[in-house]
Structure 1
């Protein structure tokens, strides 16, 4: 198993960056070039400041089709939780440049707002119009196809989610995210396919050892009545969590994340032994 790192890990950064203004000049799009040069001035200000917003407004007065300015204006609204205003601004950005901005909106709809239907619509539209791999989500942890699968899971369509992830993981050039096999394993576990769940968790463990993964592996062994393995993996889950080896995102809690309280509650179960927990 390999991680395709170089360009994919740069994608979340590049998607936030100001476009290369010289590219517009080279193509003879001087109005967009001027708007782009004006928007560059916003980088000197914090996104929540009046100056930042006013500079982008000035850029849009120069050329109202400069899509990046709408997305950049939306950052402050996204961070402050004003989804309505953010969505209106992203809608304008997408109007003028679907390929560049659909993936960003789709990912944010999934990550921040759990707007599964909206995220699926954006990602599937991007698949239709893109000539290349559609890339990864904004934080770089997931390919957008995996994010789409998780959206289907969020809507209760677990079989479809499994199908999408399985197909994506078969691709030779698939970007393996931090949690792909964990999510697949959980889907198998929830579908009572315990042996396949354990197989997926073992791959996840090889690629990225996590307390969450060990917890779910313990649950799979518990379902199979393999109590020694259940106890061993649950204890390992607890140890890993104590060492901060668990799923993490600075903005949201990921789907399928496990917390220390979940692990410790399970350790009080009779199957584990109901023994006191040593911190």
Structure 2
């Protein structure tokens, strides 16, 4: 073995050993970003209440972004309180940056915001369809992307398209989630039929939702409307309507987490 060959082998072995014992550049970047998040979110912005200390919240996050402007989570944290304050266009500027740096994590969230908060339904559909192409029909905020596309179609009066998506979603839940059907999904499946004047079929779905969630005021209300269109007995309709109103007063409405910030499609708001 020549001296030159021997030294080359030794050099390669040293490089391999060095590489095994030292973090990669990507690992170092991740560690540094986690430290910035801890400093400027966990131990920084979260010490403030963005409901009445928005400036402090935003200023702390801006300090973190000065250290590393590619941290998607910091951009999302800047966007989130603006959405809750109904300042959608302001928040969208920041969530676009989060999507730029981590689309797999934040693009579906942006699409959700467009559907439930900003109510830009055509844009929501485009965003969700793009998410499906890139990442598959995954979940965001407890539901699949197709669920939110279905909601968007409802709001665009494309009821038959919505019906197909909700039907597929419910069948998927039954097959792949041990039959844990979701009352909200069943409710909107019923709504898609209700809007097409399929009164009896809509009632079937509302009844399924009520079997899971017996005090679901919105399902009771739309079931009462269906019964009235079918010219059912007035006492049945009045009883159901009164139950819906009482349940709503007690807070038994669509039980999605974000109903505290936004009215969901077809969510009945009752006058006092």
Bin for the TM-score computed over the shorter chain: 0.7 to 0.9
Give per-residue Cα distances to partners, 1:23-77, cap 9 Å, x unaligned. x998332553443343333222333444432332222222221111111111232
RMSD of aligned residue pairs (Cα, Å): 2.7
Structure 1 residues 33 and 253: CA distance shift in structure 2, 3 A: closer
**Structure 1 residue matching 2:70: 3-state secondary structure:** coil
Question: After the TM superposition, which of the residue ranges 107-116 and 24-33 deviates more from structure 2?
Answer: 24-33
Aligned length: 236
TM-score scaled to structure 2, two decimals? 0.76
Distance, in Å, in 1 between the alignment partners of 2:242 and 2:34 is 59
What is the CA distance between 1:198 and its match in structure 2?
Answer: 1.1
Distance, in Å, in 1 between the alignment partners of 2:247 and 2:226 is 18
1:102 and 2:107 correspond: yes
CA contact 2:224–2:237 (8 Å) conserved in 1: yes
**Structure 2 residue matching 1:28: 3-state secondary structure:** helix
Distance, in Å, in 1 between the alignment partners of 2:147 and 2:268 is 19
1:61 and 2:66 correspond: yes
Could you say which residue in structure 1 is the equivalent of 2:3?
A: none
Residues 140-179 of structure 1: pairs in structure 2 closer than 5 A: 140=142, 142-171=143-172, 172-173=175-176, 176-179=181-184
What is the CA distance between 1:107 and its match in structure 2?
Answer: 1.3
Structure 1 residues 46 and 221: CA distance shift in structure 2, 3 A: closer
Give per-residue Cα distances to partners, 1:97-150, cap 9 Å, x unaligned. 00111121111112222111121122222222225x62232xx5x444322211
What is the CA distance between 1:196 and its match in structure 2?
Answer: 0.9
Distance, in Å, in 1 between the alignment partners of 2:249 and 2:212 is 20
Structure 1, unmatched stretches of 5+, are 1-23, 265-279
Could you say which residue in structure 2 is the equivalent of 1:113?
A: 118
CA contact 2:183–2:210 (8 Å) conserved in 1: no
Q: Extract structure 1 runs of 4+ deviating beyond 4 A.
A: none
1:134 and 2:138 correspond: yes
Higher Cα radius of gyration: 2
**Structure 2 residue matching 1:46: 3-state secondary structure:** coil
CA contact 1:25–1:33 (8 Å) conserved in 2: no
Structure 2, unmatched stretches of 5+, are 1-23
Residues 17-56 of structure 1: pairs in structure 2 closer than 5 A: 27-29=27-29, 30-40=31-41, 41-42=43-44, 43-47=46-50, 48-56=53-61
Could you say which residue in structure 2 is the equivalent of 1:230?
A: 237
The structure with the greater share of residues assigned to helix is 2
Distance, in Å, in 2 between the alignment partners of 1:220 and 1:86 is 39
1:240 and 2:265 correspond: no
Distance, in Å, in 1 between the alignment partners of 2:39 and 2:200 is 58
Q: Which has the higher contact order (CA 8 A, sep 6+)?
A: 1
CA contact 2:76–2:98 (8 Å) conserved in 1: yes
